[in-house]
Structure 1
Amino acid sequence: MFHSGSIDLHRTFRDRDDESWLDILVSSLRIGEIDGVSMPGFPAEELQREIHGHSGEVSLHEAHAFFREVKSYAAFAGRPIAPHRTLLDFGCGWGRMLRLFMKDIEPARLFGADSTSRFLQEARRCNPAVNFLSCELVPPMILAPESLDYVVSWSVFSHLDEFLASRWVEEFARLLKPGGLLMMTTQSRRFIGFCAEQRLKRASGIRLDHPWHEACADSFVDETLENSRYEAGHFLHAASMQPPHPLSHYGEAIIPRGFVVKRWGHLFRMIEFLDNPVRLPQVLVVLQKPG
């Protein structure tokens, strides 16, 4: 299943506090072995930037901020992170988030899922200690019902359309144990204004920093309409491509609190809808399966 080094990593670092753990992971960018433990590797910076828009230490700090919030809300909801728990990172990319949890959860109980095979290839190469699974664009996954304590998903539900988002939320309701937690992020209402800023820059002749900013500039172009739809609790999505292109399900997404409660409230109870850019750049939605 996994090499003994993964056991050593968990045993060696499980008692470190979260800030020390971040320092260790940042050091692992340059040092392959720390305290006698072989650390997971990293993919090329180009691939990291392709997924996150940044790489290296910046990406680790962003992942750590999400990790801290997940731990905090898990404890608040009565399901504290512990070695025997089982966690799935949905849309795991190269496995950035999962390595944060290797300190607190036994690596064999950590799963990552992604639909992009070359991301998974890098994830497995960099960190063979945890389990990386391929998934299709739509569910189901191969995992058993009620087999997970947590599903976490960073910056995936900020891209999926209403159809796919709802199908995956239903799938996570199937996979989570009673009392299990789904913790995912989406864009905030402020993102409508961010897209407008990118349009203004482009119209002023300013070169946009990243191809994603170009996509943002083409998204949510009627600010008044989109703000009204948000107020009414509608799922907002600006598709990258038009149907029948397979990427028509992908784009930029903003999910209001009202939509979560109305459409998914029969599956989960809402623990938190955290919209605080000081703590996280996206909205954190924390949902708990009844039980």
Structure 2
Amino acid sequence: MGWDSFPKGTLYRKAREIVMGTARNDSLRQIEERLLCIEEYIRQRRRENSSSGQAVCAHGSFDQIELRDSALAVQGWMMLPGAAFDRLIVYINEAEAARATPVEKAELGTVFPTVPHAPSAGFRFSVALAPEQTEGMIDIRVAGVTGGRETALLETWYRGGIESLLPVPPLDLMKRVTIYTCFYITGGLHSYRDFWSAIRRHTDPATLGAVLDWGCGCGRLTRHFISFSGIPRICGCDIDAGAIAWCAENLAPAQFATVPLHPPAPYEDDSFDAVVAYSVLTHLTKDVQLEWIKEMRRILKPGGLFLASVHGESAAFVSFNKEAPNILADGICDSFHGGPQLDGIAPPGYYRGTFQAKRYTLREYSRLFEILEYRERGAINFQDLVVMRKR
């Protein structure tokens, strides 16, 4: 949410002065003003939730999913900053199946110190499935209900034995793409559901002849495109030569290539019908982002889709709480180190933790692509998902 979205009253002016650095008040006053910014953020979210007829993506996570003796047991958490849910409804394969039981998670109060209902955002449920329901993909959806209607969703897919469909990479490679190695499979499938659902909203997947997973790492997302998409030509690329070598040896028939830190990529013009990129732009500086976005436009066919995740306002709110408006004051902030995952692979200063306001993303990316959709928290209920089309 950008500053232009706030009501243009006294609070707006004071908050904007603090964030833009034009006010010269003492530290206590700054803290008070920034808390007012967060309160206004929450009030606006509450207004959006009450006025919109569609449920939005919740903040949240499926922390554990198990299928034992035809019983599906799930634990996780979900919330919206604006208001607590009255109840959580569980849908399995689009049919209402249960009510989730609330679970206290005190650690969420630390993550979301400005959200009073955060510590009570945990949930668990167990659903007995018929034998035929345990075969193939299981669609799991938890809907948060507020004021008698569903206001937020937490969704994923699950399939028993999915880890045996293709080889699983060694631990050191998995740690380069996720610090929680148990989420390599389940989180990858969640990502696949996010991207595949977005593709289906904007085109007929049967028309796709070639797709590229840009920044594929050791195949966390690519493996599910191989297993389930039916797309004839699947490619992956990354700067991590070790991960690419493992993918090339273990994830046939997909094709893999190492790419340099800066364009060009080793692909001809108009090569792909779609490019997907989970948490790639989130680790690039502003200038390097734009270099690679232009490169994605080059290798996409006319009318091709570019689906990419970014750290938007919601991710900044989770990561920085009351400091989020200050961090996003200029539209994009690429000054944070991205972590040690690619130490020795990317040179110092290349791998960033980049956060950007929706207004910035729409303005800059629309110079290169037609923006079809901006889905807040649309990538694993944390990053925002941007769907673009090559003109």
Give runs of aligned pairs for residues 39-78 of structure 1, distance below 5 A: 39-56=165-182, 58-77=183-202
Residues 122/249 of structure 1: CA separation in 2 closer, same or farther (3 Å cut):
same
In the TM superposition, what are the counterparts of 1:195-274 in structure 2 within 5 Å? 195-196=319-320, 223-229=324-330, 234-240=331-337, 246-274=347-375
TM-score (norm 2): 0.54
Q: Deviations over 1:139-182 (max 9, x none)?
A: 11121111101110111111111111101110111111111111
Using the size of structure 1 for normalisation, the TM-score is: 0.71
Question: Are 2:240 and 1:116 equivalent residues in the alignment?
Answer: yes
Distance 1:125 1:279, change over 3 A: closer
The Cα of 1:129 is off from its aligned counterpart by 1.8
SS state at 1:40 partner: coil
Q: Percent of aligned positions with the same letter in both sequences? A: 21
* Structure 1 residue ranges without an equivalent (≥5): 1-15, 32-38, 198-220
Over 3 Å counting, the alpha-carbon distance change for 1:137 and 1:100 in structure 2 is: same
Tell me, yes or no, if structure 1 residue 282 matches structure 2 residue 383: yes
Cα distance 1:249–1:222, how it changes in 2: closer, same or farther (>3 A)? farther
CA distance in 2 between partners of 1:277 and 1:289 (Å): 21
Inter-CA distance 84–288: structure 2 relative to 1 (3 Å threshold): closer
**Does the 8 Å CA contact 1:239/1:247 hold for their aligned counterparts?**
no
Q: Which residue of 2 aligns with 1:27?
A: 161
Change (3 A) 1:75 1:159: same
Cα shift at 1:67: 1.7
Q: How does 1:72-221 map to 2 (within 5 A)?
A: 72-77=197-202, 79-82=203-206, 84-102=208-226, 103-106=228-231, 109-196=233-320
Moved more, 40-49 or 151-160: 40-49
Q: Secondary structure at the match of 2:315?
A: helix
Structure with the largest fraction of strand:
2
**8 Å CA contact retained: 1:86, 1:105:** no
Give distance in 2, aligned partners of 1:224 and 1:116: 34
Distance in 1, matches of 2:328 and 2:192, equals 30
Q: Cα distance, 1:138 vs. partner?
A: 0.6
Change (3 A) 1:279 1:97: closer
Task: Sort the Cα spacing of 1:17 and 1:182 in 2 relative to 1 into closer, same or farther, 3 A.
Answer: farther
Q: Distance in 2 between matches of 1:258 and 1:176?
A: 25
Aligned equivalents of 1:80, 1:90: Cα separation in 2: 21
Q: Which runs of 5+ in 2 are unaligned?
A: 1-134, 140-156, 339-345
Greater fraction helix: 1
Local SS of the residue matching 1:258: helix
Partner of 1:217: none
Query: SS of 1:163's equivalent?
Result: helix
CA distance in 1, matches of 2:138, 2:258: 32
**Count of residues in Structure 1 that have an aligned counterpart in Structure 2:** 233
Measured after TM superposition, the shift of residue 84 of structure 1 is 4.8
Task: Tell me, in whole angstroms, the C-alpha distance in 2 between the residues paired with 1:279 and 1:195.
Answer: 15
Any runs of at least 4 consecutive aligned residues in structure 1 with deviations exceeding 4 A, and if so which?
221-224
Q: Which protein shows a greater Rg?
A: 2
Residues 279 and 50 (structure 1 numbering): CA distance in 2 closer, same or farther, change over 3 Å? Answer: closer
| Cα deviation digits, residues 192-216 of structure 1 (max 9, x gap) | 344447xxxxxxxxxxxxxxxxxxx
Q: 1:222 to 1:68 in 2, by over 3 A?
A: closer
Change (3 A) 1:142 1:100: same
Q: Give the superposition deviation at 1:87.
A: 0.5
Deviation at 1:83, TM superposition (A): 7.1
8 Å contact from structure 2 (residues 378, 385) kept in 1: no
Q: Which amino acid aligns with 1:270?
A: I
Root-mean-square deviation (CA, aligned residues, Å) is: 2.8
Equivalent-residue separation in structure 2 for 1:106 and 1:284 (angstroms): 21
Deviation of the 1:23 alpha carbon: 4.9
Contact persistence 2:374–2:385 (CA under 8 A): yes
Partner SS, residue 288 of structure 2: helix
SS at match of 2:305: strand
* Secondary structure class of the residue paired with 2:304: strand
Task: Look up the SS of the partner of 2:265 in the other structure.
Answer: coil
User: What CA distance in whole angstroms lies between the structure 1 residues aligned with 2:220 and 2:180?
Assistant: 12
- Residue 26 of structure 2 corresponds to none
